[in-house]
Amino acid sequence: MKKKLVSILIIVAMTAFLAVGCKKEEGLTKITLNEVAHSIFYAPMYVAFEEGYFEEEGLKVTLVNGLGADKTMTAVISGEAEIGFMGAEASIYVYNEGADDYVVNFAQLTQRAGNFLVTRDLNEDFKWENVKGKTVIGGRKGGMPEMVFEYILKKQGIDPAKDLTIVQNIDFGLTSQAFAAGQGDYTIEFEPQATALELEGAGKVAASLGVESGKVPYTAFSAKKSYIEKNPKVIEGFTNALQKGMDYVGTHTPEEIAKVIQPQFAETDKEKLVKIVTRYYEQDTWKDNLIFEEDSLNLLQDILDMAGELTDRVPYDAIINRTFAEKAAKK
């Protein structure tokens, strides 16, 4: 499936309009950021938006929800977006397909998985062996949510292919509705969907995949190699703004963080937002800096390999540029 996806991306890139250049507006450079999903999981980025950190760095950033890594990668490859925010596995797939102008990761935001295993049994005393023989609504094959879930299962001595049924044909964003409607014994959900299911009495968070998996390079910011080479000041300013968001999250309480990002989640009431931010805060979701370390990429490729999704291991220096993150961390 990933080969078909990446082939489509390459075709899109070849037939796309000329790469989007940097446009000026009132002294600010306009760029588009395409995010894989709009989730409280990515709080430091939204702090950067709401606190005006991008503008401080001379950037006017338009945020677009890509609704999935495949769509986000397509937007970056085609030039529709200058920067993408998604799982770094997508850049590995593109590189291994032989793309000339492949995508390079320059900043890592999250260091743990941000989703949760939700059970239908509100009284369940959860143990991982409980999923044996059950049906779990999972994620897209080859995507980080699904691969990390299967990585955890294998760590627990559970065979994802034989010991349970994983549903993978439900569109991203519709899994919680399917679960609430009665499908599955468990579902894998990000926030705010996990908490919403709890508040509706439709389920209960049984386990945090972020805690169970350990530290994993879950999401990163990336751009085409050519764009980074031609626009280093844009990437530098963008990374500096993100680091300010990281610093804010690292020095403020969940209540303060929730208050700042509230405009990004107008449909989520204050109490629920604080609860969700606290959940991510307490499991050490966010890094202190944005540097994508080599051992993190090695772990990611180990996970892909275990999932049968890695054709060849990709050199660290090929798809990771740590220059901007290192510079931002020293400010």
Closest CA to 166 of 193, 144, 140: 140
Question: So what's the pLDDT on residue 188?
Answer: 96
Q: What is the pLDDT of residue 168?
A: 94
From first CA to last CA, the distance across the chain in angstroms is 42
Single-letter amino acid code for the residue at 79: G
Q: C-alpha distances in angstroms, 66 versus 53, 105, 122, 172?
A: 22, 17, 33, 11
| Residue 79 · residue 16 · CB < 8 Å | yes
Contact status, residue 52 vs residue 22, Cβ threshold 8 Å: no
Long-range contacts of 157-164 (CB under 8 A, 24+ apart): 158/128, 158/129, 158/131, 158/132, 163/131, 163/132, 163/133, 164/131, 164/132, 164/133, 164/134, 164/135, 164/136
pLDDT given at position 25: 59
Please give the class, per CATH, of domain 2-112+216-329: alpha beta
Residues of the chain with CATH 3.40.190.10: 2-112+216-329, 116-213
pLDDT along the chain (331 residues), means of 10: 50 44 72 95 97 98 93 96 96 95 97 95 97 96 89 96 96 91 96 92 96 92 98 98 98 98 94 94 94 95 93 97 97 80
For domain 116-213, which CATH number applies: 3.40.50.10800, 3.90.1150.10, 3.40.50.920, 3.40.190.10? 3.40.190.10
